[in-house]
Every structure is written in structure tokens, then in C-alpha cells.
């Protein structure tokens, strides 16, 4: 199943619109309105996260993933065939529904597979290896998206092209072994609610907020690399005979390609960081949180000074930190949540994550309109660093010895 899981991540990340989404919106909307579009997506995801997590635990994770692909295809179709703020908002609702159906579900499906094989001790390495294929998909995605924009000079086509790999992924998921659905426990609704409440231990709550806040920071700021790359492309003395959009597309494609190749290697070797810290996942999670917040602050300062090349390096660092910490956070959370409720537990984490992202997206957009991209990054980075004492992850309790 490894290659089926890897194929899912590879195809899922062929979102040709992603490297250009903010630039596309900026042709028509202010940063603040773009922030609201992002918030609509996040709120839609937030509202549906827990229900879809429970749905995945009760009717089957594989079937839930198929529904997710269908919702994505509806969203892409709206973006491709229409162009207005209201219709884009409607497309974001569909996109959010797809994210809700997907988030946490496929991760729990992988962890269930490992549990069935007795490979729980390999979860960080195994998930990191599958995630590396997701990053390879993102690397190829950047190049293909760049070619599309350069050749068509129209961002709209990246949405139409994205429908092809998602149809292939729908077929991939629909043909997963049926036993991945069958082994899910189907208790009563009362039992499900009781299990849901039992997850909220102090360990889980701290890890939940730590993971969700950092992911909200990442999702709220990562696309601001695109206007930085646009400014960088327009200052470079290369390909001056090309249209500005084509030069931007080339720079975006090359930077994102290299970025995701690097992230692929980082995800694949996340388990080495865990070993280097003697298996103390909480140390890696806490350190990566602080490094990520500091990176956003430094990116903001460099943007204010107009050091666009330096800003790009800081954004690369932010992506690397996120892709390093995600397998580690997943490993920590899976140790504090009962296996049979993993989809629900990870969906709770996604709910809080999207809530933070929904709050941060319009805030960052407002700050970007008032103080520029640099001021927005600086402000949100300082805010995230300031709450660190409240979200520090604690060590996992020692497990009793089997010989005890």
C-alpha cells in the first residue's frame, strides 16, 4: 500500500493554481478581500471538520476520501468557468468541504494500516516517506503550472488542468482495499460522543493548540511568498523581452520547484530529527514552533527593507520547518489519541487549525493593505511568538514496561 498512499499525496499536490492563487486574486481584489476568501475556505472547513471526522470513523475513511475528491472537482470547475467574488466565495465553500473530508482522514487511514500490520513504531518514518512524495508532486506542480501560465498568459487554465490529477486520484482512492473501511468500529452515537470527550486531556490540548496555531500561521502567510517573487522577478535583469506575468511565472515556477524538492527530502528524513533528540517529540515540536515564528518575523523585516532575495530564503525556511514538524506532530498526537478515534481526533486538530487560519487570513490581509506585506508578516510573527509559553508541548508520560 505504500505506493498507493504515495500516489495519493503526489496527485493531491498537483494543484496547478496554488503557486499563483494570490497573484490571480490580486489582479482584481485587495489583500483584505483575498483574506476574506481564504477565511471563507477555512470557516467552511472548520464547520465540517468534526462531523466529517466522525463520518470517516463510522462509514469508512476510504469512502470519505472519495467524496473529498468529488468536492474538489466541483470547486475547480467553478473557478475555471466563472469569475466573480460571490462565485469564488461559493467555490471556496466547496473547497473547504473537500478539505474537511480529507484532513485527518487519510492520515488516520495510514496509521490504521500500520496498526493492522503491527508497524506503529515506524509511523514517523513511514508517514514522512509518503509525505515526501507529496512534496515531489508539489515540485512537479510548480514547473507545470509555470509552463501553463507562460504559454497561456491566463491564470484560469491552472484550475482546469488541476481537474485531471484529481480525477486520477479519485480512481486511486476508490480502489483502495475495502478492508480499510471494514475494520472501523461502529459504535453508537453516545459511545462516539463519549470517546470524543475523552480525548481532551491536558497533553492533547496543548499539542492541539501548538499544532493548530503554527499551521494557521503557515497557511495564513505562505502565499505571501508570491507577491515577493513577483517583485523579485520584476527587478531581475533577465528575459526582459517577456511580459511581466511570464517573467513572474518563470521565477515562481523555479523557486517553488526547488522549494518542494527540498521539502521532499526534509519530510523523508523527519525521523532522523526525532532520533537525534532521543525520541523526545515534544522538544522537536517546541523548537520548530519558535524557529517558525522567528522566521516569519525576519521575513517581515527583510521585506520592509526590500531584500527580496533574503525574504525568499526565509520563506524557504518556513516551508522546511512546517514539513519537518508535521510528521513529528502527527506522531505525538497519535500517541495521545486512541487509535480507533484517530480520524475524529485529527479532525479536531484540523478544526482548531482552520479556525486560527480563518482569523489570521483577513487580519494579515488588512495589515498588508495598511502597512505592506512586510508589516503584516512582522506583526503576525510577533503575535505567534508571544503566546509560546501558553502552547508549550509537554513530554509524553513513560509507558509501563511489558515486564513490569
- What's the pLDDT at 264? 73
What pLDDT is attached to residue 178? 78
Nearest to 230, CA basis, from 58, 37, 25, 394: 25
Mean pLDDT of 326-352: 72
Nearest to 19 by CA among 144, 160, 163, 167: 144
Taking the C-alpha atoms of residue 107 and residue 109, their distance in angstroms, rounded to an integer, is 5
Residue with C-alpha cell 506522531? Answer: 331
- Res. 400: pLDDT tops 60: no
Confidence of residue 365 (pLDDT cuts 50, 70, 90): very high
CA distances from 84 to 34, 45, 94, 134, 287 (A): 12, 21, 15, 31, 42
- Provide, rounded to the nearest whole percent, the portion of the chain with pLDDT above 90: 29
Q: What pTM, to 2 d.p., does this model score? A: 0.76
Please give the torsion angle defined by the CA atoms of residues 131, 133, 137 and 138, in that order, rounded to the nearest 10 degrees: 40
Confidence band of 399 (pLDDT split at 50, 70, 90)? low
CB 215 within 8 A of CB 353: yes
Q: Is the pLDDT of residue 7 over 70?
A: yes
Q: Where are the domains of the chain?
A: 2-181+200-391
C-alpha–C-alpha distance, residues 33 and 17, integer Å: 18
**What is the fold of 2-181+200-391?**
Growth Hormone; Chain: A; (1.20.1250)
165 near 14, Cβ under 8 Å? Answer: yes
Mean pLDDT of the chain: 82
Q: Are 48 and 40 in contact (CB under 8 A)?
A: no
Does pLDDT of 318 surpass 60?
yes
What is the mean predicted confidence (pLDDT) over 374-397?
Answer: 88
What does each C-alpha distance from 316 to 12, 113, 303, 321 come to in angstroms?
21, 32, 14, 9
The least confident of 156-170, 198-212, 295-309 is 198-212
Q: Given CA atoms 295, 297, 303, 306 in this order, what sign does their dihedral have? A: negative
Angle at CA of residue 54, ends 6 and 67, nearest 5°: 50
Instruction: Name the percent of the chain in helix, strand, coil, to the closest 5.
Output: 85, 0, 15
**Cell numbers 472519495 label which residue?**
66
Is the model's pLDDT at 184 over the cut of 60? no
Residue 310 has pLDDT above 90, yes or no: yes
Residues 49-62 have pLDDT tens digits of 767 767 766 777 78
Percent pLDDT > 70 in the chain is 84
Q: Is the pLDDT of residue 203 over 80?
A: no
Instruction: Report, as an integer, the average pLDDT of 278-293.
Output: 82
Average of per-residue pLDDT across 251-273? 79
User: Quick one: pLDDT band at residue 165, thresholds 50, 70, 90?
Assistant: very high
Region of residue 186 (phi > 0: left; psi between -120 and 50: alpha; otherwise: beta): beta
In 279-330, the DSSP E strands lie at none
19, three cell numbers: 503557486
Q: Which helix (H) or strand (E) holds 138?
A: helix 123-152
Which band of pLDDT confidence, cut at 50, 70 and 90, is reported for residue 74? very high
Question: Span 18-40, mean pLDDT?
Answer: 91
**Pair 374, 232: CB distance under 8 Å:** no
Position 367 confidence tier, pLDDT thresholds 50, 70, 90: very high
Amino acid at each position: 500500500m505504500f505506493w498507493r498512499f504515495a500516489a495519493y499525496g503526489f496527485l493531491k499536490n498537483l494543484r496547478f493554481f496554488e503557486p499563483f492563487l494570490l497573484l490571480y486574486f490580486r489582479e482584481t481584489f485587495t489583500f483584505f478581500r483575498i483574506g476574506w476568501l481564504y477565511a471563507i475556505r477555512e470557516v467552511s472547513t472548520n464547520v465540517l471538520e468534526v462531523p466529517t471526522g466522525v463520518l470517516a470513523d463510522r462509514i469508512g475513511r476510504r469512502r470519505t476520501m472519495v467524496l473529498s475528491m468529488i468536492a474538489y472537482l466541483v470547486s475547480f470547475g467553478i473557478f475555471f468557468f466563472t469569475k466573480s467574488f460571490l462565485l469564488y466565495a461559493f467555490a471556496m465553500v466547496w473547497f473547504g468541504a473537500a478539505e474537511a473530508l480529507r484532513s485527518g482522514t487519510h492520515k488516520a487511514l495510514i496509521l490504521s494500516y500500520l496498526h493492522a500490520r503491527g508497524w506503529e513504531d515506524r509511523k514517523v518514518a513511514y508517514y514522512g516517506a509518503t509525505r515526501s512524495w507529496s512534496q515531489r508532486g508539489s515540485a512537479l506542480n510548480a514547473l507545470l503550472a509555470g509552463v501553463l501560465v507562460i504559454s497561456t498568459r491566463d491564470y484560469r487554465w491552472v484550475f482546469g488542468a488541476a481537474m485531471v490529477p484529481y480525477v486520477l486520484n479519485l480512481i486511486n482512492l476508490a480502489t483502495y482495499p475495502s478492508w480499510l473501511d471494514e475494520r472501523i468500529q461502529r459504535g453508537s452515537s453516545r459511545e462516539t460522543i463519549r470517546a470524543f470527550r475523552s480525548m481532551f486531556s491536558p497533553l492533547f490540548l496543548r499539542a492541539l493548540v501548538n499544532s493548530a496555531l503554527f499551521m494557521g500561521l503557515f497557511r495564513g502567510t505562505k502565499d505571501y511568498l508570491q507577491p515577493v517573487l513577483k517583485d523579485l522577478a520584476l527587478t531581475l535583469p533577465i528575459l526582459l523581452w517577456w511580459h511581466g506575468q511570464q517573467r513572474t511565472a518563470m521565477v515562481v515556477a523555479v523557486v517553488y520547484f526547488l522549494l518542494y524538492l527540498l521539502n521532499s527530502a526534509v519530510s523523508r528524513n523527519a525521523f532522523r530529527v526525532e532520533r537525534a533528540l532521543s525520541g523526545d517529540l515534544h522538544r522537536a515540536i517546541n523548537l520548530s514552533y519558535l524557529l517558525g515564528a522567528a522566521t516569519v518575523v525576519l521575513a517581515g523585516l527583510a521585506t520592509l527593507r526590500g531584500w527580496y532575495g533574503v525574504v525568499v530564503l526565509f520563506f524557504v525556511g518556513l516551508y522546511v520547518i512546517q514539513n519537518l514538524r508535521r510528521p513529528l506532530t502527527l506522531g505525538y498526537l497519535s500517541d495521545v489519541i486512541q487509535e480507533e478515534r484517530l480520524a475524529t481526533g485529527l479532525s479536531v486538530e484540523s478544526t482548531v487549525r482552520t479556525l486560527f487560519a480563518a482569523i489570521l487570513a483577513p487580519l494579515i490581509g488588512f495589515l498588508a493593505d495598511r502597512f505592506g506585506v512586510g508589516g503584516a508578516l512582522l506583526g503576525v510573527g510577533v503575535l505567534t511568538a508571544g503566546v509560546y509559553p501558553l502552547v508549550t508541548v509537554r513530554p509524553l508520560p513513560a509507558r509501563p514496561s511489558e515486564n513490569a
